[in-house]
């Protein structure tokens, strides 16, 4: 566990943005001390409905419901993981995909994650981030 002065000399962030976070794992003890509880600053979560890590936006909706005063949620309909990365679509294997289903058994190959950019959603999400930080900072 890091002390509050371990980094930044006691300074804290004023706002946070997480694009396609792994919301299902936010309160699981994979990394002790990294639980998403009682954020000290506003957070904007941006997730696509087709994201293969969370299998949709519901786990992020739960985080927002638990912290409604500090967590904003932007859901991109039809958005896959990494929608804002203007690159060639691809599919990768990742043990955190499918809400970490592979982590429960650790047998066979991990599930896949589709990375499918969307230029329109990329620009929309970038504009949302700028508005969020302008408002919060």
Q: Who wins on pLDDT, 114 or 30?
A: 114
pLDDT, average across residues 58-62? 91
> What is d(CA 85, CA 121) in angstroms, rounded to the nearest whole number?
10
Average pLDDT (108-117) is 92
| pLDDT tier for residue 25 given thresholds of 50, 70 and 90 | confident
Q: What's the rounded mean pLDDT across residues 63-85?
A: 92
The predicted structure's pLDDT at residue 1:
41
The whole-number average pLDDT for the span 124-128 is 96
Secondary structure string (H, E, C) spanning the chain: CCCCCCCHHHCCCCCEEEECCCHHHCCCCCCCCCCCCCCCCCEEEEEECCCCCCCCCHHHHHHHHHCCCCEEEEEECCCCECCCCCCCCEEEECCCHHHHHHHHHCCCCCCEEEECCCHHHHHHHHHHHHHHHHHHC
- For 24, list phi and psi in degrees, rounded to 5: -60, -30
Q: Is the model's pLDDT at 67 over the cut of 90?
A: no
Average pLDDT, the chain: 87
Closest CA to 18 of 135, 116, 97, 132: 132
40 DSSP assignment: S
Total-model pTM: 0.85
Can you give the residue ranges of every domain in the chain? Answer: 14-136
**What's the confidence (pLDDT) of residue 11?**
83
């Amino acid at each position: 566990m890091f002390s509050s002065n371990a980094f930044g000399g006691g300074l804290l962030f004023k706002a946070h943005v997480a694009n396609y976070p792994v919301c299902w794992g936010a309160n699981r003890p994979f990394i002790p001390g990294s639980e998403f509880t009682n954020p000290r600053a506003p957070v904007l979560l941006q997730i696509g409905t087709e994201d293969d890590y969370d299998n949709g936006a519901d786990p992020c909706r739960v985080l927002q419901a638990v912290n409604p005063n500090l967590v904003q949620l932007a859901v991109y309909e039809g958005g896959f993981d990494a929608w804002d990365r203007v690159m060639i679509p691809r599919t990768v294997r990742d043990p955190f995909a499918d809400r970490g289903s592979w982590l429960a058994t650790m047998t066979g190959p991990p599930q896949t994650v589709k990375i499918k950019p969307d230029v329109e959603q990329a620009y929309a999400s970038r504009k949302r981030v700028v508005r969020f930080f302008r408002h919060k900072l």
